[in-house]
Amino acid sequence: MPTTVEHLTLDERSARGLAARARANPDSHTGWTPAPDRPDPVSLIEEQNLRRDGDLLPVRHGRMMASPFTFYRGAAKIMAVDLALTPTSGLEVQLCGDAHLSNFGAYASPERTMVFDINDFDETLPGPFEYDVKRLAASLTVAASNNGFSKSDAHAITKTMVTSYREAMAEFALMRTLDVWYAHTSEEDIKQSIAAFLAGANGKGDGKGDGKGKHKHKGKHGGSADDTTSMTGKQRKEATKRFEKNAQKAHSRNSDQALSKLGEEVDGRYRIVSVPPVIVPARDLHTAYGIKPGELEDVVFDLFRDYRSTLRPDVRQLLERFEIIDWARKVVGVGSVGTRAFIVLLQGRDRDDPLFLQVKEATRSVLEGPLRKSAFRQPGERVVQGQRLMQASSDIFLGWSKGVQADRYYYWRQLRDMKGSALVELMAPATMAFYARTCGWTLARAHARSGDAVSIAAYLGDDDAFDLSITDFSERYAAQNEQDFANFTDAIRTHRIEALQQV
């Protein structure tokens, strides 16, 4: 039976956003404090560890203990529990669920041009738009503090992101439906924005807007020349060089480059190298899972057939021209360590035609519990469908499969496809402010695709009450993250949990 879709007028949608202020005024996010019965953060991490590969848990803990920022990256479940008790407007979107600033980056579109977008959707779920805004804003405050920035710089950077989100949502509220859907950030857009940013830093801004917002000297993602006056000439040159180097590196990150890093030639045939515990190839994996090598091969081919059935017919036919050569377990990320993740090496016409796919375990989102359960019974499909809804352009090889073991699910994608990410720890204050604006615009665009930009824009309003309120929340939450990090490192020191660093 077809679902009835509500079609409100623009006035009705705007009125709905204004009415949402009664549920949670834009300044209601100020003054956050942890709940008196807040769960022990280490216990929440231990709870997540129960279904993860035990031999990798020390690696996960070691990566999280590197800094308060890496701890924050791995602490999505902790923040999900905290967010459940925060005020929300009732205006829902498709959430990333883990929208910290390191989960944004560049990758290749199907048209082989580089785009910038959110790039991690392990926790995606429909929910209040404020959840993603708070997760991103707090990550900026934590990262700024981690880089040794002053409190005033950290405050300005965080507020810059929230302002960018609010003003971008106001722009999307004025755009036609398809224009919102097709909006994206290309490599050329980033180049132009950086040029405008550096021109402003050099005192060459002309003070004129571009018709897209209120800031002076705006590129696509906004930003005033006033934001960058603290940059020296040397810093401007370094920022330009770093961008060009990162862009060049991203263009070279493909299956050929992956093969040179992850493969080795034995008897005229490529196979994946062994670098335990980070990379454990199929020939050695039976020791980790207690399954005979031949049985593991059957498992992989069953997963592959299941995955192919979720692809579009044309992509399925394309993939059928490749054969599996080898596969391995490969540790990735920070928060994901311990969940099962694999890489699969495929060969096309010959040995010089490689394709690397990544297979990641999908579990229940950390937001399921604080929010309602996913409409998808298969967590891998939840991740893929959420990614397709939020990204302006997605990997053609995105798909999902059910594991052989009960309650194990996976999603598939290309391992390296011109993927690049910012080096957060090397950012200067002005550079992070520019990056914050870009991420704010990008998050607003992702939310506008699935939510009601008119209602959200009406709720956010024209002043900076929401911006200041979220910034206040972020500063308070960053302080709590510091305390949680101290508790976590103390748990390692007292041998409650084990950690293995620099792996």
pLDDT digits (tens, 9 = 90+) for 282-292: 888 877 666 66
pTM of the predicted model over 0.95? no
Q: Is the dihedral of CA 157, 488, 123, 296 positive or negative?
A: positive
93 bridge partner residues: 127
- Please, are residues 185 and 442 in contact by the beta-carbon 8 Å criterion? yes
Q: Are 450 and 97 in contact (CB under 8 A)?
A: no
Half-sphere exposure of 457 (CA within 13 A, CB side): 20
Say how far residue 492 (Cα) sits from the centre of its chain.
27
The answer for residues whose C-beta is within 8 angstroms of residue 409's C-beta and 6 or more apart is 361, 362, 363, 378, 379, 380, 400, 401, 402, 403
Over the stretch 11-63, which tens digit does the pLDDT of each residue have? 999 999 999 999 999 999 999 999 999 999 999 999 999 989 999 999 999 99
Rg, the chain, Cα only: 23
Cβ burial of 86 (10 Å; 0-12, 13-18, 19+) is middle
Lowest-pLDDT range, 211-220, 395-404, 413-422? 211-220
Name the phi and psi angles at 357, rounded to 5.
-115, 150
Q: What percent of the chain has pLDDT over 70?
A: 88
Interval 186-205: pLDDT, tens = 888 888 887 777 776 544 33
Determine the pLDDT at residue 503.
85
Which letter does DSSP use for residue 51 in this model? T
pLDDT of residue 403: 84
DSSP strands (E only) in 229-373: 263-266, 269-272, 279-281, 323-330, 341-347, 354-361
For the cut 80, the answer to whether the pLDDT of residue 462 exceeds it is: yes
DSSP 107: E
Burial class (CB in 10 A: 0-12, 13-18, 19+), 489: middle
**Where do we find the tokens 């950390």?**
366
Give how far the C-alpha of residue 410 lies from the chain's centroid of Cα atoms, to the nearest Å: 18
Is residue 212 over pLDDT 60? no
The pLDDT mean for the chain works out to 89
Specify whether the CB–CB gap between 106 and 194 falls below 8 A.
no
Q: Is the pLDDT of residue 134 over 50?
A: yes
Q: Copy the structure tokens of residue 284.
A: 């050695």
How many C-alpha atoms does 38 have within 13 Å on its Cβ side?
20
